[in-house]
Amino acid sequence: MTGRSNRTMKRLPLIHPLVVKPWGVFRKLKILCAFLAASLFFQPSAQAGCFHADVRPGPGCTRQGLVSDYFPPLKGTAMDTAVFFLEGDAPGPTALVLGGTHANEPAGIMAAKILVEHGAVIQGRLIVVVHANPSAASVPDTRCPVPYRHELPGTIGPRYLTYGDRWSDPLDHGLDLQGTGQDKQLRNLNRVWPGDPSGTPTQQLAHALFVLIRAEQPVFLVDYHESRTEGRGDDRDKYRLANSLITPPTGIETGACALLDMEEDTGISLKLEESGPAFKGMSHWEVGSRTGCIPFLTESPNPGQDDWRHNPDVIQDPDFPLKHRVGIHLRMLVHLAAGVQGPQGKHLILQNIPEYRQLMDRGVGGFLN
């Protein structure tokens, strides 16, 4: 259930103080009328609203909170999102997983969901944010015509995958009803790290996640992403992100070891890419350069992002099925956990994370409650 029709639950969005000036009563009415008109006539925006994620935590999930616990101004807004904790009996290092930083990259969202619904921790602690940008998940993709809702067979009935947008809903930024008057990058969660407590709602969301990292002190972060499957012709050099692991110099050797283990485990080869100061605003640079947490960003190949495809099948594509892409993210986490040492040389030890072959046999839904 996504609950996208329940607009009444949505509080007034946070307004960027630099963009919106204090209003008079008349101006407020005008804006309200424009807002209502846009809600009626612009279909994608009309679907916007508080995003109610369908996550059904399994026994490995020991508690749940909200990102607004770390930055209260987000409470009750469309930017607030659930934070799930999987805590082991034995003490050990903490890791953080972010799914849905870009809501049109569903393999990361489904991988994070499987962690919460099926996974467990023996030693240490895993913190999972399934929908890192719930506002972006509340609206359809504006880049490629991929349907918003996809049914997956679950273990006790159908489950639904929502295919959202790369950017936060403009309505949640409180202005710019057609999404043209504001720099899109300020609505892109992976361009605004480490966030800004007085910035746009998306910047505030990044700030909240950054406060979470400072408070919970994960030793490593995995930010799940997807990208075009491949570049074509002259674009070949341009789109080279698919099947890669990106990390700053502090994570390069650990990342290389994890990639070799990944090859042995799954037969899948990913490229290693090094982050650096040129990646300003992105998690894999900003988190690593400002905290003790080593960030990793995984990129799986999503046919839904290939602009040369007609009617891409983001679930059953014969070359890049969802289950394969989810397997990349889940297995990378396992191998990174085995490689990153926490205090006292301990590792995060995970349990019940599907093997790649199991995912290929049973599908993503086979590991959802």
Residue 165, class by beta-carbon neighbours within 10 Å (0-12 exposed, 13-18 middle, 19+ buried)?
A: buried
Using the Cα atoms of residue 248, residue 253, residue 258 and residue 260 in order, give the sign of their dihedral. Answer: positive
Asked if 339 and 257 count as a contact pair (C-beta separation under 8 A), the reply is yes
Which of 69/230 has CB closer to another protein?
Answer: 230
Window 278-317: contact mask with another protein (x via CB under 8 A): xx--------------------------------------
**Which of 38, 66, 252, 360 contacts another protein by CB under 8 A?**
252
273 binds another protein (CB under 8 A): yes
Tell me the one-letter amino acid at 106.
P
Q: Could you say whether residue 259 binds another protein (CB under 8 A)?
A: yes
Closer to another protein by CB, 46 or 252: give it.
252
- Residue tagged 């990378």 (tokens): 332
CB of 273 to another protein, least distance (A): 6
With H, G, I as helix, E, B as strand and everything else as coil, classify residue 248: coil
Q: Choose which of 27, 271, 290, 357 interacts with another protein (CB under 8 A).
A: 271
Taking the least distance from each CB to another protein, the nearer of 100 and 251 is 251
User: Which of positions 96-155 make contact with another protein (CB under 8 A)?
Assistant: none
Find tokens 């006539």 and name the residue. 41
Instruction: Tell me which residue has tokens 């067979």.
Output: 153
The distance of closest approach from Cβ of residue 167 to another protein in the complex, given in angstroms and rounded to an integer, is 23
Which stretches within 153-270 are classed as H helix? 201-216, 249-266
DSSP characters for 80-92?
--EEEEEE-SEEE
> Is 163 in contact with 150 (CB distance < 8 Å)?
yes
For residues 242 and 333, which CB has a smaller minimum distance to another protein in the complex?
Answer: 242
Longest dimension (CA), the chain: 66
The least distance separating another protein from the CB of residue 274, rounded to whole angstroms, comes to 5
Instruction: Tell which one of 175, 257, 338, 360 touches another protein (CB under 8 A).
Output: 257
The verdict on 244 binding another protein (CB under 8 A) reads yes
274 binds another protein (CB under 8 A): yes
Scanning 19-27, 35-43, 188-196, 248-256 for contacts with another protein by CB under 8 A, the matching segment is 248-256
How does DSSP assign 10-40, residue by residue?
PPPPP--TTTS----HHHHHHHHHHHHHHHH
Distance CA 204, CA 40 (A): 28
Build a one-symbol-per-residue string for 214-233: x at contacts with another protein by CB under 8 A, - elsewhere. Answer: -----------------x--
Structure tokens at 171: 């309505």
In the complex with another protein, the residue whose CB is nearer, 202 or 244, is 244
Q: Do residues 156 and 58 make contact, with C-beta atoms less than 8 angstroms apart?
A: no
Residues of this chain that bind another protein (CB under 8 A): 231, 236-237, 240, 242-244, 252-253, 255-257, 259-260, 263-264, 267, 269, 271-274, 276-279
